[in-house]
Amino acid sequence: SAVISQKPSRDICQRGTSLTIQCQVDSQVTMMFWYRQQPGQSLTLIATANQGSEATYESGFVIDKFPISRPNLTFSTLTVSNMSPEDSSIYLCSVEGVSWSGYGYTFGSGTRLTVV
Amino acid sequence: DAKTTQPPSMDCAEGRAANLPCNHSTISGNEYVYWYRQIHSQGPQYIIHGLKNNETNEMASLIITEDRKSSTLILPHATLRDTAVYYCIVGALEYGNKLVFGAGTILRVKS
């Protein structure tokens, strides 16, 4: 299965600033997904990023707040802009692919963001 | 919204089988049942998936009812390391559809 490297693994940021999270995959993938997991909650999909096209955002998420880049088939970034304490969450990237025993999506280990 | 219903939590004794149920009464004909788990502070991990037939791999078994409206994930010999949140998800991921996570089941394996 694909191996995902996500950076940074954690960060503490001041409100009003922005943080860019990187997701690097060791193989070429068409679709990449960005999720948010608020404290004690399940995962919520933010957007789907396909190489060569604009990201598709889910209801409640907008490009101005969460701009995404997808410059090639192995890399993507998610920026959390103008942060507030409510943005404190774990942000995860995910890619499609075949796992060791079947088709499934692989997840990075996440970026734990705390906004103060 | 998630199309599955799972109990919020379950306990299991170490070494015993853990049976995690999932209801998906509105599943479509081309949708698979996927199971993922999330161990604390890690990203979700794929476990198993199936369409109609029961499936087994090194990690678990998946039993799907004949009408496909419910399924059960079985961890045959649960260990303390299996303590995690288990998510049952339905979707046609081979067609590029997105994973929609529900609340999942917190499984606590106790010694």
B80 touches chain A (CB under 8 A): no
**DSSP strands (E only) in B1-111:** 9-13, 18-23, 32-38, 45-50, 55-56, 61-64, 70-75, 84-91, 105-110
pLDDT in tens, A85-106: 999 999 999 987 655 445 678 8
What pLDDT is attached to residue A101? 45
Q: Please give, rounded to a whole number of angstroms, the shortest distance from the CA of B58 to a CA of chain A.
A: 9
User: Mind listing the pLDDT tens digit for each residue in B14-64?
Assistant: 999 999 999 999 998 888 899 999 998 899 998 999 999 899 999 999 999
Percent of chain A predicted with pLDDT > 90: 78
Q: Is the pLDDT of residue B93 over 90?
A: no
Decide if B99 and A105 are in contact by the 8 Å CB cutoff: yes
Return the percentage of chain B with pLDDT > 90, whole number.
77
Whether B46 sits inside 8 A of A45 (CB atoms) is no
Interval A16-40: pLDDT, tens: 999 999 999 998 888 899 999 999 9
Is B55 within 8 Å of B48 (Cβ atoms)? yes
pLDDT the model gives residue A31? 86
The conformational region for residue B51 under phi > 0 = left, psi -120 to 50 = alpha, else beta, is alpha
* Contact assessment for residue B35 and residue B60, using Cβ atoms and an 8 Å cutoff: yes
Give the number of other Cβ atoms within 10 Å of residue A69's Cβ. 14
Could you say which of A1, A31, A106 has the minimum Cβ distance to residue B96? Answer: A31
